[in-house]
Amino acid sequence: MPQRAHALPPADPVEELRAAASAEDDNGQPLYQPTDPARPIGHANPPRRPKGVAVQLTPRPSRLEVERRIAQAQLWVAQRLPLVQIIENARENWGIHNTQTVNRYLNLARERMVEELITDRRRHQAEQIFALNDCARRAMDAGQFNAAVGAFRVIAEIGGLLRAPIKPPEPRA
The answer to whether residue 140 sits within a structural domain is: yes
Position 77 scores a pLDDT of 94
Would you say the pTM of this structure is higher than 0.75? no
- Tell whether 97 and 23 lie within a shared domain: yes
Give, in order, the Cα–Cα distances in Å from 153 to each of 42, 114, 126.
61, 25, 15
CA dihedral 70, 73, 74, 76 (to 10 degrees): 170
Position 10 scores a pLDDT of 52
Kindly state the helix (H) or strand (E) to which residue 115 belongs, with its residue range: helix 99-119
The answer to whether residue 18 sits within a structural domain is: yes
- Tell whether 26 and 65 lie within a shared domain: yes
The answer to whether residue 76 sits within a structural domain is: yes
- Tell whether 103 and 84 lie within a shared domain: yes
The answer to whether residue 73 sits within a structural domain is: yes
Q: Domain range for residue 146?
A: 121-159
- Tell whether 24 and 109 lie within a shared domain: yes
- Tell whether 76 and 104 lie within a shared domain: yes
Collapse the DSSP code of 136 into the 3-class scheme (helix H, G, I; strand E, B; otherwise coil) and give the result.
Answer: helix
- Tell whether 115 and 137 lie within a shared domain: no
- Tell whether 17 and 27 lie within a shared domain: yes
- Tell whether 19 and 98 lie within a shared domain: yes
- Tell whether 112 and 82 lie within a shared domain: yes
The answer to whether residue 70 sits within a structural domain is: yes
Q: Which of 119, 134, 168 lies at the terminal end of a domain, its last residue?
A: 119
- Tell whether 94 and 104 lie within a shared domain: yes
Positions of the chain with pLDDT lower than 50, given as ranges:
1-2, 4-5
**Nearest residue to 34 via CA among 57, 17, 4:** 57
The answer to whether residue 41 sits within a structural domain is: no
**Nearest residue to 29 via CA among 97, 93, 89:** 97
The answer to whether residue 167 sits within a structural domain is: no
Q: How many domains, the chain?
A: 2
Position 2 scores a pLDDT of 47
